Amino acid sequence: MDQAVYILGLDIGSVRIGVAKSLWPDGIPTKVSVLPNDDRFKDNLKELIDELNAKFIVAGLPRSLNGNETEQTRLITKFVDDLKQTINVPIYLQDEAATSIKAEEELKANNKDYSKADIDALSAVYILEDFISAHPKGENLE
What pLDDT score was predicted for residue 22?
96
Structural domain spans, the chain:
5-138
Residues 15-40: b if buried by 16+ CB within 10 A, e if exposed: ebbbbbbbbbbeeebebbbbbeeeee
Q: pLDDT tens-digit profile of 57-85? A: 999 998 877 778 888 899 999 999 999 99
**Which of 3.30.420.140, 3.40.109.10, 3.30.750.80, 3.40.50.300 would CATH assign to domain 5-138?**
3.30.420.140
**110-123 pLDDT tens trace:** 877 888 899 899 99
Helix H segments across the chain? 41-52, 71-84, 99-109, 116-134
